[in-house]
Amino acid sequence: MQYNQYEIVIVNLNPTIGSETYKTRPCLIISPNEMNFLNIIVAPMTSANKNYPTRVKIKNDSYVVLEQIRTISIQRVMSKTNIKLTKKQIKIIKNTIKTMLVD
């Protein structure tokens, strides 16, 4: 199955260690399409807003948790969703990642 950048998929993140985000939850794929055949880079999503600068609001009760970015096997993906991000949301996510990792 093909997975695309900025697509939201349902992922089983268990098992985890320490304070890693766990359980089955939506995740945003942030890796480029060319990389998404064995492993994908994802950011988990949550309904808990902790007002961190690394959390990007997608809907009223949905946030991308960019402080928990990780690489996972595509075998962890359980299904795709129909949730689509806007260009504005993608731009905010890209700028947040850039600030976190580059600046």
User: Which value, in Å, is the radius of gyration of the alpha carbons in the chain?
Assistant: 13
* 51-60, long-range: CB < 8 A, 24+ apart: 53/96, 53/99, 54/96, 54/100, 56/89, 56/92, 56/93, 56/96, 58/83, 58/85, 58/89
Domain boundaries, the chain: 8-101
The architecture (CATH level 2) of 8-101 comes to Roll (2.30)
Q: How far is CA 55 from the centre of its chain?
A: 11
Amino acid 28: pLDDT: 98
Q: Which tens digit of pLDDT belongs to each residue from 18-66? A: 887 879 999 999 999 999 999 999 999 999 888 889 999 998 889 999 9
Q: Which tens digit of pLDDT belongs to each residue from 69-103? A: 999 999 999 999 999 999 999 999 999 999 999 86
Given the structure tokens 């349902």, which residue do they identify? 10
More confident: 1 or 55: 55
